[in-house]
Structure 1
Amino acid sequence: MADGDDRQATFGSDGSLETDTTPDATGENDFGEEKAANETDGGYSRYVVSSLLQKAVRRSDEEVAAWAAWELARSGYAWNLWDRLNLYVVEDLRAGSDVALTIERYEELATERWEPAEWKGRLCAIHAALAAARAQSTREGPNADEYFRAVADVGAEARERGEEPAHDFPVGDLEPGGEFDAIFDGHTGEGSKLGRGTRFFKTRGARVGPEGEGEHSARWQRLAMLLDDERDYDAAELDRAVEPVDPDDPWHEPEQIGDEADKNDADGSDRNDTDEADRDDADESDQNDADDSRGSLSDFSS
């Protein structure tokens, strides 16, 4: 079976080397005529049919997409078909679509379990094309790539002229204290120099949103913080750790959360005495759960 990496070279009628046509794609077309290079069984150019397949996927035309996939598969161009379908997943479909795994599975069945040009292989081709055509189409990936590349070029040209670029990346200069200050935790050199350790990460860097943590995840996070042997978190920090980010301003973080300004997290030895009132402010159920967990841990260690 031929694939994109195992194409055998053949020679055309004029003696020129043909590298795109495999032995599977030779023979006669539907009309009893010897197929020309890159010709499908129906007498079409495989390049045209391949382009038709992509445009059909992009425009969600299921019938045309199914036919184009069938035509390429039956004509010995399965390697071309599966190569293009996998490209469409990243070029023409919305990010996160599970159709990528679906197409991968159909390709595996068509090329490893069965013969790609035979009946079962053709069914896989049709199903994969239909799955792609039914998925949500978008050009967001290529559009983003083209835009970011253009901004990079404009910025480089402006820098060469000693000017400020007319367009910039959406993140600016990425410096501590800026809009994206939360990224500079202990996982970065800048964050380490600022003494930003676990406390900073828990209350800023690990926050999710805007949906927020699920019920179980939020409870586990709070309990893990309450059970921390090296740090005391006050109620404000516990709440902030599981608070979803603002969908309209996802990067905003307050300069100070609770009493963290009085707590040193740089060397991991910041278990300072916390005001009893702050501890009482913590969610009572969390505290009870934490006490139960401590008891359970003692039982296991005894």
Structure 2
Amino acid sequence: MSDDGPERQATFGVDGSLETDTTPEATGENDFGERKAENETDGGYSRYAVSSLLQKAVRRSDEEVAAWAAWELARSGYGWNLWDRLNLYVVEDLRAGSEVALTIERYEELATQRWEPDEWRGRLCAVHAALAAARGRSTREAANADAYFSAAAEERAEAHERGEAPDHDFPVDHLEAGGEFDVALDGHTGEGAKRNRGTRFFKTRGARVGPEGEDETSARWQRLAMSLDDDVDYSAAELDRAVAPVDPDDPWTEPEEVGGDDGGRNDAGGATDDASPDGSLTDFSE
């Protein structure tokens, strides 16, 4: 498997030669009137080379080359290869959150479910999808993250075997109460439930967003919902804290107490807001 992902419908025989299952749509003659060889496009190119070129052109934002490569695969009967490659781009090279992913999905649906991939409308969908991909924000962030985290995991395991601290570790070392990520250990976790971190803790710490914070409407709804809560009596400071954005330079630090915060108990000092007597996990909205 290459760094661009696996190729579908390709296997190796016992003698090491490449065997392929060429679909009927990809057979016939090329542009020169010659019978096409295995994995040959209508223009006389290797579909492996054209497929790789498509992803590299998209990655480099070369719209014309990307459009041609998509068209060549589509018209040659390799529509499955085209859409496999464009979907690989979505997860390997496209910036997370881009709407281009949905655009490509829609064009694939039209080309393969409403029309035939190698007919005129199917080819237009192929070109449209390739252009949308080439115009998208390309990044290797997901692939780079996977490579980094995998290498760190290996280094971490080797250091553990030696009884030493790793030279490179995960961005999260220990997940423990009182640590950097203490706020994550709310009532949804066993550790948080044991510490009676119920609704009060969740609303004033765990549910905070940032660094942009809640917009005006969402903040108003949050305040009203908390004010109308029959089980917890929130202070003004707690209402403010719940809708305040997190610090972009220090997103994980939370105070031990916020105004009238009593550590997760109700104002009467009785049972916890959400944690069960046996310390089992709570079920409030996460």
Q: Is TM more than 0.5 here?
A: yes
Is this contact kept in 2: 1:8–1:22, CA < 8 A? no
Is this contact kept in 2: 1:62–1:133, CA < 8 A? yes
Q: Secondary structure at the match of 1:112?
A: helix
Gaps of 5+ in 1: 10-15, 270-302
The separation in 2 between residues aligned to 1:247 and 1:176, in whole angstroms, is: 22
- Taking the TM superposition and a 5 Å limit, the aligned residue runs for 1:218-233 are 218-233=219-234
Matched, 1:268 2:269: no
Q: Which range is displaced more, 29-38 or 250-259?
A: 250-259
Q: Which amino acid aligns with 2:158?
A: E
1:150 maps to 151
Note the C-alpha offset of 1:212: 0.5
Note the C-alpha offset of 1:120: 0.2
In structure 2, do the counterparts of structure 1 residues 161 and 7 end up closer, same or farther at CA, with 3 Å as the change threshold?
Answer: closer
Q: How many residues align?
A: 262
The separation in 1 between residues aligned to 2:73 and 2:263, in whole angstroms, is: 69
> TM-score of the superposition, structure 2-length normalised?
0.87
In structure 2, do the counterparts of structure 1 residues 253 and 223 end up closer, same or farther at CA, with 3 Å as the change threshold?
Answer: same
Is this contact kept in 1: 2:76–2:118, CA < 8 A? yes
4+ runs deviating over 6 angstroms? 6-9
> TM-score of the superposition, structure 1-length normalised?
0.83
- Percent of residue pairs identical: 78
Note the C-alpha offset of 1:19: 3.0
Is this contact kept in 2: 1:109–1:124, CA < 8 A? yes
2:200 maps to 199
Q: Which range is displaced more, 260-269 or 90-99?
A: 260-269
In structure 2, do the counterparts of structure 1 residues 24 and 7 end up closer, same or farther at CA, with 3 Å as the change threshold?
Answer: farther
The separation in 1 between residues aligned to 2:77 and 2:150, in whole angstroms, is: 37
Matched, 1:111 2:112: yes
The separation in 1 between residues aligned to 2:273 and 2:118, in whole angstroms, is: 63
In structure 2, do the counterparts of structure 1 residues 136 and 17 end up closer, same or farther at CA, with 3 Å as the change threshold?
Answer: closer
The separation in 2 between residues aligned to 1:114 and 1:234, in whole angstroms, is: 61
The separation in 2 between residues aligned to 1:238 and 1:248, in whole angstroms, is: 23
2:245 maps to 244
Q: Which amino acid aligns with 1:108?
A: E
- Can you list the C-alpha shifts for 1:186-244, whole angstroms capped at 9, x where unaligned? 00000000000000000000000111001111011111111111111111100000000
1:259 maps to 260
Is this contact kept in 1: 2:20–2:38, CA < 8 A? no
Is this contact kept in 1: 2:55–2:89, CA < 8 A? yes
In structure 2, do the counterparts of structure 1 residues 229 and 89 end up closer, same or farther at CA, with 3 Å as the change threshold?
Answer: same
Note the C-alpha offset of 1:33: 0.5
Note the C-alpha offset of 1:134: 0.2
Matched, 1:90 2:91: yes
- Taking the TM superposition and a 5 Å limit, the aligned residue runs for 1:14-93 are 18-93=19-94
Q: Which range is displaced more, 225-234 or 62-71?
A: 225-234
The separation in 2 between residues aligned to 1:23 and 1:240, in whole angstroms, is: 64
Note the C-alpha offset of 1:180: 0.7
Is this contact kept in 2: 1:209–1:245, CA < 8 A? yes
Q: Secondary structure at the match of 1:24?
A: helix
